[in-house]
Chain A
Amino acid sequence: QVQLVQSGAEVKKPGASVKVSCKTSGYTFSNYGISWVRQAPGQGLEWMGWISGYNGYTSYTQKFQGRVTLTTDTSTGTAYMELRSLRSDDTAVYYCARDPGVTTIVWRLDPWGQGTLVTVSS
Chain B
Amino acid sequence: QSVLTQPPSVSGAPGQRVTISCTGSSSNIGAGYDVNWYQQLPGTAPKLLIYGNNNRPSGVPDRFSGSKSGTSASLAITGLQAEDEADYYCQSYDSSLRVGVFGGGTKLAVL
Contact = CB atoms under 8 A, between A and B. Distances in A.
Given A107-B91, A111-B47, A44 B2 contact: yes
Contacts of A95: 45-46
Contact of B103 (A44, A108, A109): A44
B48 A107 contact: no
A105 B105 CA distance: 23
B99 A44 contact: no
A28 interface: no
Interface residues of A, number: 19
B61 interface: no
Given A44-B89, A44-B105, A45-B105, A107 B100 contact: yes
Contacts of B52: 108
Given A44-B2, A44-B89, A109 B102 contact: no
Interface stretch (A13-21, A66-74, A76-84, A112-120): A112-120
A109 B49 CA distance: 10
B99 A45 contact: no
A27 to B, nearest CB: 14
A45 B46 CA distance: 9
A115 B100 contact: no
B46 A108 contact: no
Contacts of A62: 97, 99
Interface string B98-110: 0111111100000
A111 B51 CA distance: 12
B92 A114 contact: no
Interface string A45-85: 11100000000000001100000000000000000000000
Nearest to A35: B100
Contacts of B97: 62
